[in-house]
Amino acid sequence: MEEGRLLKNRYRLGECLGAGRTCVVYKGFDTLLEQEVALRIPHQHLWADAGFRQAFRESARRALKMQHPNLVEVYDFGQEEELFFLVEELVRGSTLQSQLAARGNMSIRGFLHFAAEVLDVLDYLHENGWAHGNLNERNIMLLEGSRRLKISDAGFPQEWPPELAEIAEEEKDLEQQEDLLGLGLIFYHALEGKRLEPSLLLEQAGPLPQIEMSEKVPAQVTALVMRSMARSESVRFENPAAMLTEVKSALHREEPRQPAAAGAEEPEVPARRHFLRNKRRIIILAVGLLIVLALVLLWPLSSGWFKQDVEVPNLVGINSQEAAQALEATGLKMSIAGAEFRAGSRVDEVIAQDPAGGKISKLHSTVRVILSKGSLRVPNLSGLSLEDATRAIKAAGFELGSVEKRSLPKYKPNVVVESDPPYGAELDPGQRVNLVVSQP
């Protein structure tokens, strides 16, 4: 493929980043928004098949409607002559497959955080009537410099291991069941550091797979992985939300407990021999120490040491980890009150706080923050019917604004010619998108 080629008079083709079973992925550059993107181009021998072309186009339209902070965002798609291409978010990170190969298995807490993010994505997809269709270690990306992940290829099903298809083939929601079965294999690899062949699941006769896991893995986590790979639908988790609940329960058990109260375990103090022989004096001494300790702890409370006023730092514009560190340095605590989309913001960025920066608050009090889920962008609506464009606008989180009809002989009737704001513009949820539609 010729590097530097301009697609759709907008996307400049760059270096090849890699190739999979169905597509070659290139680095690209969006000359309109002036940002790097990824360009995915199907293999030409597959694109020659009419059935593949139709399925891929339908998957691309569906992917444009998906909005989740842990999904690789699909921005646009198009075709120039014989070349079809998909425009996606460029993710900087490495695949779960390469990370497990280089670093082995995950820690228990690390695994549970990882599992919670993956299940949150599957829950979003399944609740909206979709499925990933090809969840594996190659399309789970671990982001550089953070404990976050992105999942790609959602809605672009490829070849599925025949063993898993055989287990799920007689059940409803085939692709959704395959998502959960595939996830069990991924979970096993993440915890054990080795792959489990799908064929082993077909050999299991009982309700749960009889597969050994390390003794270091808690029983609750082992049971979670075994249930996710069970042959019987009645034993497996009903949906990602049910599995996510179990993961959060296990995570709560694994979170470090608060340190023991001061004085709960006091170091042994050497005593003189006559103290050991005189229990009465030891008891009196112990009582005296307890009285002194109580005075030390209670007197500062009465003199206002724990009611000191501090200035709340401004947290807006920094990420949640930086915000927590800034508050801790000031003697304050942070509580995440929610998350929402906000134009011009980055994922995990603080977009609001209470009390506001510069206000005076009590030492050790809590500052509530709202984090950003990222920006919502106007989808590509050109060429869609008014009905389809309206659905796409609502799926992206916006409202349909005015509809101007123009007589444009070069266009098919009742198709969108342009939008205002244009494709790619960042808006807040609920804002209106105006359309220009052709008419005979």
Q: Which one is predicted more confidently, 3 or 287?
A: 3
Q: Which of 122, 187, 129, 189 is nearest to 151 (CA)?
A: 122
AA identity, residue 174:
L
Burial zone of 23 (CB within 10 Å; 0-12 exposed, 13-18 middle, 19+ buried): buried
Residues 6+ away with beta carbon under 8 Å from 206:
none
Q: Which one is predicted more confidently, 284 or 414?
A: 414
189-201, pLDDT tens digit by residue? Answer: 999 998 887 766 6
Task: Out of 270-279, 352-361, 393-402, pick the least confident.
Answer: 270-279
What's the rounded mean pLDDT across residues 38-61? 86
- pTM for this one? 0.56
Place 305 in a pLDDT band, splitting at 50, 70 and 90.
Answer: very low
254-292, pLDDT tens digit by residue? Answer: 765 444 444 444 333 344 444 444 555 555 556 566 654
Cβ(398)–Cβ(346) under 8 Å? no
Residue 204 pLDDT > 60: no
Cβ(97)–Cβ(135) under 8 Å? no
What's the rounded mean pLDDT across residues 362-378? 88
Q: Which one of 3.30.70.890, 3.40.50.12780, 3.30.950.10, 3.30.200.20 gives the CATH number of domain 1-90?
A: 3.30.200.20
| Strand-by-strand arrangement of the 399-407 sheet | 399-407, 432-439, 416-420
Sign of CA dihedral 189, 195, 196, 198: positive
What's the rounded mean pLDDT across residues 139-147? 81
Q: Which of 293, 433, 317 is nearest to 370 (CA)?
A: 317
As annotated, the residues of the chain forming the CATH 3.30.10.20 domain(s) are: 307-372, 378-440
- Res 31: pLDDT: 92
Percentage of the chain beyond pLDDT 70 is: 80
Residue with tokens 């003697």: 331
Taking CA atoms, 392 is separated from 257, 395, 416, 421, in Å, by 46, 5, 12, 14
Cβ(138)–Cβ(101) under 8 Å? no
- Res 146: pLDDT: 67
If residue 300 lies in a helix (H) or strand (E), which one and from where to where? helix 279-303
What's the rounded mean pLDDT across residues 138-147? 82
Cβ(412)–Cβ(438) under 8 Å? yes
As annotated, the residues of the chain forming the CATH 3.30.200.20 domain(s) are: 1-90
Burial zone of 417 (CB within 10 Å; 0-12 exposed, 13-18 middle, 19+ buried): middle
Q: Which one of 2.40.30.30, 3.90.480.20, 3.30.70.20, 3.30.10.20 gives the CATH number of domain 307-372?
A: 3.30.10.20
Task: Out of 20-29, 244-253, 291-300, 421-430, pick the least confident.
Answer: 291-300
Query: What secondary structure letter does DSSP report for 305?
Result: G
Taking CA atoms, 30 is separated from 83, 88, 91, 135, 363, in Å, by 17, 10, 15, 28, 48
SS3 59: helix
Q: Are strands 426-427 and 6-7 parallel, antiparallel or unpaired?
A: unpaired
Instruction: Please state, as a whole number, how many other Cβ atoms lie within 10 Å of the Cβ of residue 153.
Output: 24
- Res 271: pLDDT: 41
SS3 237: coil
Q: Which one is predicted more confidently, 300 or 383?
A: 383
Q: How many residues does the chain have?
A: 440
- Res 289: pLDDT: 63
Residue 187 pLDDT > 90: yes
Percentage of the chain beyond pLDDT 90 is: 26
In CATH terms, the fold of domain 378-440 is Trypsin Inhibitor V; Chain A (3.30.10)
Q: Which one is predicted more confidently, 172 or 410?
A: 410
- Res 275: pLDDT: 41
What's the rounded mean pLDDT across residues 40-54? 85
CATH 1.10.510.10 for domain 94-254, yes or no, is yes
Query: What secondary structure letter does DSSP report for 207?
Result: S
Q: Where are the beta strands (DSSP E) in 208-349?
A: 309-311, 333-340
Q: Which one is predicted more confidently, 91 or 231?
A: 91
Q: Are strands 432-439 and 416-420 parallel, antiparallel or unpaired?
A: antiparallel
SS3 226: helix
105-119, pLDDT tens digit by residue? Answer: 888 888 999 999 999
Residue 401 pLDDT > 90: yes
As annotated, the residues of the chain forming the CATH 1.10.510.10 domain(s) are: 94-254
Distance CA 369, CA 363 (A): 17
- Res 382: pLDDT: 84
Residues 6+ away with beta carbon under 8 Å from 174:
165, 168
85 beta partners = 78
Task: Out of 112-116, 137-141, 306-310, pick the least confident.
Answer: 306-310
